[in-house]
Amino acid sequence: MTSAITFRKASRDDIPLILSFIKDLAEYEKLSHEVEATEEKLEATLFEQPLAGEVIFGSVMGEEVVMALFFHNFSTFLAKPGLYLEDLYVRENQRGKGYGKAMLIELARIAKSRGCGRFEWSVLDWNSPAIHFYESLGAKPMDGWTTYRLTGNALDALAAME
């Protein structure tokens, strides 16, 4: 299952692939009409200083099956950086194989290695499969928000998963 997945940081050469994942995600979320991303914009924001975010891919047998785009935020209460997951997308034909969970574990490990005190993301209210999945990992919805956060023991537990 996920033992075959490998992770790598995106490079400039991956810009068309990043845009492809973004468009697929937008279609899934019924938001294709809102996509303004272009290869030029992605190059300027993801690969030129200051970097606005980072992208990692999960690949199986040389094929990218999952993408995550994330950036750092800051918690004033914790006085620590946080990791914010802007987008996570598993190719439709690769869902149900554990690749989304594997990516979240990888991101939790990145967060821990960078001294982050929390790991957050948002989910559309109608996306009940994602909501159930996130809650199964220990993520909790924030009161009044649809943001999910892993902290403390839950973040440690996810980062420690194989």
CB neighbours (10 Å) of residue 46? 20
* Angle, helix 39-46 to helix 15-28, in steps of 10 degrees: 110
* DSSP 8-class letter at 5: E
Instruction: Give CA 57 to chain center in angstroms.
Output: 10
Q: Are 117 and 150 in contact (CB under 8 A)?
A: no
Residue from 89, 99, 134, 148 carrying the catalytic annotation: 134
| Helix residue ranges per DSSP H, the chain | 15-28, 39-46, 99-113, 128-136, 152-160
134 is known as an active-site residue? yes
* Catalytically active residues, by annotation: 134
